[in-house]
Chains A and B, each alone.
Chain A
Amino acid sequence: MRDCPEAAAVDGVMPLQGWEIPTLPDDAPLIPRPQPWTPVAAVFCVAIFAFLLWRFLENPVVDRAVILEYLFKDVTLRGVGVTLYLTAVSMVAGIAGAILLAIMHLSDNIVLSSLARLYISIFRGTPLLVQLIFWGYLGIFTPDISLSLPGIGTLFSVPTSDVVTPMVAAILALSLNAAAYSAEIVRSGILSVPRGQVEAARSVGMTRFQAFRRVVMPQALRVIIPPMGNEVIAMLKGTSLVSVIAGNDLMTNLQNVYSQTFQIIPLLIVASIWYLILVSLLTIPQSWLERRFGQSVARPRVRRQQSRLWNMRLRSVTPTGGRS
């Protein structure tokens, strides 16, 4: 059997070839495959990492005193707060925009889908840095934001610099940009749900919105969550770009400090430590969400409770049960 028999016919007529049935004790022990190189590889990796860590720590440029001093300093913590706030607000707005854009993109209405495509191509096609600067210096383009109607006159007018503060500009730039990227993620998720699901949802009388909200989106989320996790992480780190319009996030604050004290490396390490912590924390809700929305396709496990629940439901829909 090891060397493949050169069978003559297509139709499955086998050449009669002998084979030996080995003498095999009943219930011969099953031995799992040994993995002799695993411990070796582990030791090797640990050694390399230990060496790198040692080289790093004994380096005089890495001033541990400075790192520890700034790790929990007020200026750092305020920066962390701003970074988290920017990320959260921009991401929520971005995802909302992304869902809207994805629905528009998939719509049969040519105006809606063209609009979505145009938006995505512009906001994905220009650098985030340029967009940030644009929103930050919006005042140059329009000194006032006003609404005037012919015959009625000016309804309101405010100086742009009062409304679009650096913070607002940062949120605008980040969320509009994130919406464009995430829209494609949401769209791929929606496309991954088979058509029959919508048809079934519509057949039980759901409206288009209900079908989308209750049937399509929960299934799409399974596909959406992993790349969306990437987006959130990219956003968290992307907030460091707002330094160009004087937002005072983590990176900007520390940049301001080291531009005066010249402790560049230690402060960059402080920033890295915080970003690493924040990103690690973000993966916790992500894996929770993945499990939550991946349940239906997870490998089946024997679940007693479910069947009991099922029996109860069955009983309640049979004519005798559930009435009294």
Chain B
Amino acid sequence: MAAQPLVSVRTLTKSYGNKVVLKRINLDVAEGEVVALIGPSGSGKSTLLRCMNHLEGQDSGCVLVAGEPVGYVLKNGELHEASDKILSHQRRSIGMVFQGFNLFQHMTALENIMEGPIRVLKLPRPEVEQQARRLLNLVGLGDWADHYPLQLSGGQQQRIAIARALAMKPRVMLFDEPTSALDPELVGDVLEVMRTLAQEGMTMIVVTHEIGFAREVCDRVVFMADGEIVEQGLPGKVLLDPQHERTREFLRRLL
């Protein structure tokens, strides 16, 4: 584990209108660490994740990924809004997996995976295709390369989406409730892929309601409520012996 945090959230504040959804959040994630963000809906965990790759802008504070403030350029102690080009460059190393998959509907599974490396990284097509097929095998969908997203089940789509994010060789992967839109019997396949990734040493931040996954795979569980981090620590500690009433209340309802 590197001494410096790979992802560092600093006093991040965000509000929609006059509703404050993130209240001065501080969070450090080390390289190779797998962190689960849990909490009731509306607690701000998804917003926090979306701030990490600047899909949402913040009111104050910042997110550093490998030392760079995402969406901003640091000059003389001030954070200047980055150009679209810089932001796009920063996002290359931040993979994102959405609750609703968001695969490109007009491309096959293989094309979905190849799009980023070819258009953004400008890598040669044969090399990219080889890598994409390896990724398809990794997520267990080697035979589905030429299918369009709507011809695939939700679980298959989500695994393609993970492969699409991995194709950019990101330093950190963000998962926004990756299994919430899936049938129960399809959840396992997706979690299996994520488990493999975690074992490979990928840095992952996962917003999830899968307590089992958080307990078995994650290095740390962060519980959020009302835009604040209520408590965090080892999964065994937070999930089995929570210190705060809000955490206890949440876990009681979930189990």
Contacts and interface: CB of A to CB of B under 8 A. Distances in A.
B80 A31 contact: yes
Contacts of B205: none
Interface string A18-33: 1111101111111111
Contacts of B169: 4-5, 7, 12, 14
Contacts of B121: 4
Interface residues of B, number: 50
Contacts of B67: 1, 19-22
Contacts of B81: 30-33
Contacts of A26: 10-11
B142 interface: no
A10 interface: yes
Contacts of A25: 77
A29 B201 contact: no
B200 A22 contact: no
A13 interface: yes
B131 A10 contact: yes
A21 B135 contact: no
Nearest to B84: A33
A302 B5 contact: no
A22 B74 contact: yes
A301 interface: yes
B152 to A, nearest CB: 17
Nearest to A20: B67
Contact of A13 (B60, B77, B201): B201
A58 to B, nearest CB: 44
B62 A19 contact: no
A12 B134 CA distance: 12
Nearest to B67: A19
A208 interface: no
A42 interface: no
A7 B169 CA distance: 7
B182 interface: no
Contacts of B17: 301-302
A16 interface: yes
Contacts of A13: 200-202
B218 interface: no
B93 A27 contact: no
B166 A12 contact: yes
A55 interface: no
Interface in A248-267: none
Given A12-B170, A25-B77, A301-B17, A30 B60 contact: yes
A162 interface: no
Contacts of B89: 2
A19 B169 CA distance: 17
A30 B79 contact: yes
A6 to B, nearest CB: 9
Q: Identify the interface centre among A16, A19, A27, A301: most chain B CB within 10 Å of its CB.
A: A19
B31 A16 contact: yes
B4 interface: yes
A2 B92 CA distance: 9
A283 B81 CA distance: 35
Nearest to A6: B169
A302 B19 contact: yes
B175 interface: no
B47 interface: no
B4 A19 contact: yes
A1 B5 contact: no
Contact of A10 (B5, B62, B135): B135
A11 interface: yes
Contacts of A22: 64, 67, 74
Contact of A12 (B72, B78, B90, B202): B202
16 contacts: A2-B68, A4-B169, A5-B93, A10-B166, A11-B197, A13-B200, A14-B169, A16-B2, A21-B4, A22-B74, A24-B69, A24-B77, A26-B10, A28-B74, A28-B77, A302-B16
Interface of B: 2, 4-5, 8, 10-11, 16-19, 31, 58, 60-62, 64-69, 72, 74, 77-83, 89-90, 92-93, 121, 131, 134-135, 138, 166, 169-171, 173, 196-197, 200-203
Given A12-B197, A30-B62, 13 more contacts: A1-B67, A1-B93, A4-B121, A9-B200, A10-B135, A14-B171, A21-B67, A24-B64, A26-B10, A27-B60, A28-B74, A30-B58, A302-B17
